[in-house]
A and B are shown apart, each in its own frame.
Chain A
Amino acid sequence: MHPAASIIAFTTLSGIGFGLLAFLGLGFPRVEGMSAFAFFAIAYLLAVGGLVFSTFHLGHPERALKAFTQWRTSWLSREGWASVLTLVVMAIFAAPLVFFGLRLAPIGWLGALASIGTVYITSMIYASIRSVPRWHHWSTSAMFIAYALSGGALLSGQVTVAIAFLVLTGIGQFAAWKAGDARFAAAGSTAGTATGLGGIGKVRLFESSHSEGNYLTKEMVFVIARKHATKLRSIALVLAFAAPVALLLLPFHHVMAALAVLSHLCGVLITRWLFFAEAEHTVSLYYGRTAA
C-alpha cells in the first residue's frame, strides 16, 4: 500500500496523543493547574494534529463532516465519533483539573478507556480490510494499542511503565512482522484464484492492461524500497524501542527523556511507513506482482 505521509502522521501522532490522554485520565502523572495544562496541551496537540493530518488525505476535505453519518458499518466513521467523544470527555476532566485543581477521577477513567477505544477503532480501519491480509488480523489492533500505551507512558514520564511497555511492544512488533510476512500466502489468493484460471495451469501476467501506472498501481501495488525492509525494520526497532529504553535506564535527566521521546517518535514513524509499504493488496495479483 502507498505509504501516504498524511496517514502515517495521523496514526502516529494521534496514537501517541490518545496514549498520553489515557495516562492523564488515569492520573499518571498526578498533575494539577499549569503543569496539568501543559500535559493536556501536548496530548491535545498530538491527537487533534493527527486528526487534522488525516484530512489532508481526502480528495474533498470540505465534505469531511459527512463522514460522521455511517457509524453503523464504517470503522472510519466510528473513528471520527470516537475521537470527538474522547476529546470532549477528556476536556470535561481536564478543565476542572487545570482551573480549579478539582479531580473528577471517574470521568478521567472513562476518558482513559475512551482513548484506548479510539486507538482500537483507528486500528480497525486497517484490520477490517480483508484484501490486505497482512492487516486483517487481531495483532494489528494489539500493536496500535501497544504503541499508544508505550508512547503515552513515555510522554507522561512513567519511566518504569514506559520501559516495560517499550520492551513488550518491541517484542510484539518483531513477532507481528514475522507473522505478517506469511499472511498473504496463507490467505490463499493467487493469480490463479484472481483470474479463476488456476485450475488450467500456472497463471502469469502476459501483458498489462495499460502501459503506464494508474491509481491502483500507485495506491495499492506499492513496492518501492521493500528491498530495504529488513534494514528499516532494524533501524525502527533501535529508534523506537532500544534507544529510548537505554536512555530511560540512565540516571534521569530531562534532556535524556526528551531524546527518548524524539527517538521513539522517529522509530514509530518508520514502523508506520513499513506498516503501509509492506502491506500487499490482492489487486497486485492482477499486475503480475506476487507476495515475496
Chain B
Amino acid sequence: MTELPASTQRKLGLVIDLDTCVGCHACVTACKGWNTENYGAPLADKDAYGAEPVGSFLNRVHSFEVQPESGPAQTVHFPKSCLHCDDAPCVTVCPTGASYKRVEDGIVLVNESDCIGCGLCAWACPYGAREMDPVEQVMKKCTLCVDRIYNENLPEEDRQPACVRTCPAGARHFGDLADPDSDVSRLVAERGGFDLMPEQGTKPVNKYLPPRPRDEDIDVLAPFLQPVAETPSGFLGWLDRALEKL
C-alpha cells in the first residue's frame, strides 16, 4: 500500500561521512554488482561499450567543490543513494502500490512485478534516488541490500549493505537511526549529522556527516617533521667539505 506508516519500528539507514569519503566509487561498483546478481531485475546497461553508454545505478558519487569566504576551496566527494525518507513522496504518488515503506524497518522498496514503469515516483523524489531500468522498464532503487542484511546464509560481517561492506575508507555506516544508542545515532549526534534538502519535507532517514574543518590542526604534527640532522657528518661530511673546496 502506498499509504506511509505513521511510524516504523526501526529506521534502518546509512550515515555517510563526507569527511572520510575519498571518492573512489567502490560503493557504486559494489552496489551495482550485488544488485545485478541478486534481488530483483538486474541493473542493466545499454550500449555499454558504445558511444553513449547508459545504465541504471542505485548509488552514485558526485564530487563538489566548496569555496569558503576565505581560504582554499575544498573538494567533497558526495555519494548519493535512496535516503529511505520517513515522509517518502515517491511512495504516495505510486498508482499501483508497487512502492511501499516497510513498517518493521522503514526500508522503501519497489515490488517490481507491480511496477508499470510510469516514472512518477522518480519525479516525486527530490534527490534523484530512483532510476528506471533501461531494459526491464521497472523502477530501481536502493533496497538497503535487504537481501544481505537479514541473510543468515552470509557470514555475520557481510550482513550489511554492499556499499558499506566494501567502503575502503570507512566512510559509510549502517544501522538503526531510530535507536538513540546505536552507533550510527551516536555518530550523527557527535559529528552534527544533517539531512539533505530538509526544506523538501521528506524527513530522510539517511544522514550525512560534514567535513571536519581543515588547515587548523595541522601544526600538531609539524614539530615531528623538523629535519633531524642539520649538518652532515662522517663520510658524507668529508665528501661535503671536499666538494666545497674544489
Contacts and interface: CB of A to CB of B under 8 A. Distances in A.
Interface of A: 1, 57-61, 63-64, 66-70, 72-77, 80, 125, 128-132, 187-189, 191, 193-197, 199-210, 212-216, 218-220, 281-283, 286
Contacts of A216: 122, 128, 131
Given A1-B123, A196-B210, A204 B2 contact: no
16 contacts: A67-B95, A68-B95, A73-B3, A74-B93, A76-B120, A197-B66, A200-B211, A203-B64, A204-B64, A205-B62, A205-B64, A206-B75, A208-B62, A209-B60, A281-B123, A286-B62
B134 A194 contact: no
Contacts of B97: 66, 69-70
B179 interface: no
A196 B194 contact: yes
Interface residues of B, number: 67
Contacts of A210: 57, 60
B134 A73 contact: no
Interface in B93-125: 93-98, 114-120, 122-125
A189 B119 contact: no
Main secondary structure of the interface of B (DSSP, over half): loop
B198 interface: yes
Nearest to A194: B197
B95 A59 contact: no
Contacts of A66: 95-98, 114, 116
Contacts, number: 198
Nearest to A78: B95
B89 interface: yes
Contact of A74 (B2, B60, B115, B194): B2
A213 B55 CA distance: 9
A67 B96 contact: yes
Given A60-B137, A131-B89, A215-B132, A206 B118 contact: no
Given A58-B118, A286-B128, A70 B2 contact: yes
A42 B58 CA distance: 45
B127 interface: yes
Nearest to A76: B95
Contacts of A132: 123
Given A70-B97, A131-B200, A197 B131 contact: no
A191 B64 contact: yes
Contact of A70 (B1, B134, B136): B1
Contact of A130 (B18, B28, B66, B126): B126
Contacts of B64: 191, 195, 197, 203-206
A200 B119 contact: no
A282 B75 contact: no
Given A61-B116, A193-B196, A219-B123, 9 more contacts: A58-B117, A66-B95, A72-B1, A74-B94, A193-B198, A194-B127, A209-B62, A216-B122, A282-B197
A201 B67 contact: yes
Contacts of A196: 194-196, 208, 210
B202 to A, nearest CB: 9
Contacts of B138: 59-60
B3 to A, nearest CB: 6
A45 B116 CA distance: 24
Interface in B62-106: 62-69, 73-76, 78, 80, 89, 91-98
A58 B137 CA distance: 8
B143 interface: no
A286 B129 CA distance: 11
B41 to A, nearest CB: 11
A77 B114 CA distance: 14
Of listed B94, B137, B211, residue having the most chain A CB within 10 A: B94
B122 to A, nearest CB: 7
Contacts of A58: 116-118
A202 B69 CA distance: 8
B239 interface: no
A205 B77 CA distance: 10
Nearest to B123: A129
Contacts of B116: 58-61, 63-64, 66-67
